Chains A and B, each alone.
Chain A
């Protein structure tokens, strides 16, 4: 079965510092991986995805993610954090075994300190 894990409930980082939000995955076959961000009382917004190709994927708002097949990881990164990046971040994998489901991690709360 497809699954993703986000090992950190919360990540704190100082404004201007680089940030990393971790995600590991377990899939059968090729992974289709996604990152989303959620602000309070709002729906999820798509940030980026890995389907195939370059291991470094660039997305919205200056975010990027690095796909690492040997470590089965898909960590979200940003070179310089902003206070406005404070939100809840979700990693997700698409089930490719006939159901089209998106399976989400438990979420990581990012807090950027001024």
Chain B
């Protein structure tokens, strides 16, 4: 069976510090990978998605970047965090077929202080 791991669960970082959130998927190959941000417990904002190694699409210009160094690894990074980067970050994966659902990790609560 497939599993998705996302860590850490919570993170408190000072303004101006770097960020690295990691997401890995097990039990499948060549997944689509996604990073979403959820603010104030409501809507989901798609930040990045990837259909293959080294292929990253950015949805919103911002202080964040993403990388996919391996087939089942997706990393969200920032060189210098802003207060506005606080939120709940969710990683997800799906198969390539359009008719398949996405599976989400448990999320990372990031607080920038």
Interface residue range, chain B: 20 to 34
A40 to B42, CA, bound (A): 11
Partner of B98, one of A32, A41, A43, A90: A32
CB-based contact B44/A101 at 8 Å: no
Any B CB within 8 A of the CB of A104 = yes
Q: B-side binding surface: helix, strand, loop or mixed? A: strand
Q: Knowing A46-B101, A46-B102, say if A101 contacts B49 (CB, 8 Å).
A: yes
State the CA gap A46–B32 with chains docked (Å): 16
User: CB-nearest residue of chain A relative to B36?
Assistant: A104
| Interface size range of chain A in the complex | 20 to 34
The 8 A CB mask of B95-113 against A (1 = contact, 0 = none) is: 0101101111111010000
Q: Give per-residue flags for A17-36: 1 if the beta carbon is below 8 A from chain B beta carbons, else 0.
A: 00000000000000010101
* Distance, CA A49 to CA B89, complexed state (A): 24
- Please determine whether A90 and B49 come into contact, CB atoms closer than 8 angstroms: no
Report the bound CA distance from A49 to B34 in whole Å: 19
Report which of B6, B43, B102, B106 forms a contact with A102, defined as CB distance below 8 A: B102
